[in-house]
Structure 1
Amino acid sequence: MKRTIARQHIRGGAQWRPSRPASAVQLCLLLLVLVGCTGQSAQRVAQQAQFVSEVAQGDPFLHQLYLSPSHGKGVLHIYIEGDGRPWRTRKLVSLDPTPRTPLMLQLMVMDSAPSLYLGRPCYFNLGDPRCSAQWWTHWRYSETVVASLDKVIDQFASEYQGVALFGHSGGGALAMLLAARREDVRSVLTLAGNLDIDAWADYRGYSRLEGSLNPVLSPPLAPKVQQLHLIGERDAIITPSMLSRAVARQPSAELRVIADIDHACCWQKFWPAILAELKE
């Protein structure tokens, strides 16, 4: 089966602080992210980074991808975005859930390893006829969604020695669900990961996501899989205590609470040091 249906090269626990300062190159990339990317679309960020844009066929959904120009046979870093904007108000569904600020793509700009930004089903206005609002609301973490993401990863994973899954917020939930079904996962790294979707819904006063899988109910990942779950001290959406209870079900996982961080800001400051800790 042909991997892509479209291809385009776009040109144009305790509080923790990083112990290793960023290099000059990393600081330049950080400046690009903080100054040049904030509020920009994913396409704009990808253009600046000279990423390759592809649309891949999952099963059954289409997925927007961005690939770094880095090559090699090491571990493929896979970035999964958060939920974006599934609802306009508490009662009105958004017509387009695509994040206004693609945090995970911004972080991928700072990563020198081979990397893939894996777009979620029904995001990025791909005109997929299978899409309806259910897939970015109540079914956003469903078996069908996870299986389609998994299918796309299969199209790339054989070229590498393994994969590392990185996810922010709801992307963290999907990273854990994917890790539970794959044998080639070397590490899972979540930022403010929604690892107990029922606890999150109850805390926020939302209806529970009927039809979605809850990562906290999955069996623990194998000890060989490095797990690092990060949460901002000031996060009011996924609280440190909420994440701590979920991570406690993973005996081999590490939880860190980072000072001066909330749900979305300012992960870029810490990303180079976080990447340096991966055991690859």
Structure 2
Amino acid sequence: MSFSLERRGLELRFRTAALASRDWLTPDFVRVRLSGSELAGFASLGSDDHMRLFFPSGPAETVEELRASPSREYTPLAWGDDWLDVEFAVHGDEGVAARWAANAPVGSSIGIGGPRGSAVLVGAPGSWLLAGDETAIPAIRRFATLIPAGSPARIVIETVDADHEVDVQAPVEVEWLHRGEAPAGSALIAFLDALGEADAGADPFVFIAAEQSVVKPGRALLARWGVDTSRAVVKGYWKRGEAEYHAPH
């Protein structure tokens, strides 16, 4: 078995859509459905893709006004000819995206840019490790659909407590880490630090994404397991105290 991550470009397009519905999966995790005819042809080839969403403070009269609105990057979850589903981790009222996802009236306008490119998993990993916090759940959902039944795999997600766990369809049982009142990333970092060489499966694909502090221990794990960084994904999806932080592509 062997695999690689291949970079593929996509046509960079800006689309407009409207909030069609929202579904609260936990007290602070919401899935929204966006709809609109401009979503025809939307594509996302990689499970870890990022698109930029533009959040106007009120009704946007023009495309230019929408493009000038504050923006954040999110992973597309699922889509069709005229709809797109996105999941948001909503921690209080701490950001423009969280406020929009939680409170925007149905019918509110939103702008969508990209994805501009993808890292596509090609081939068959011998084993899998998918690990992240709430912000990584959409990407983990998408990667989990690629895991063949019976393939050695671990899916590990950090959240606050059992009340904040969400249903993730996967061929293996999700392992939940609860951080309680500790800083985001702390439970996941402790888990990664405890993994030794003996925990590495054969030819593993490793995906790790959470608060920025997870990057150093994530890369250290790759080194312990002898995993080439070009065949793994280790990212800080967000950074504590920096609302403008954008995850690297």
Normalised by the length of structure 1, the TM-score is 0.32
Higher strand share: 2
Please identify which structure carries the higher helix content.
1
Structure-2-length-normalised TM-score:
0.34
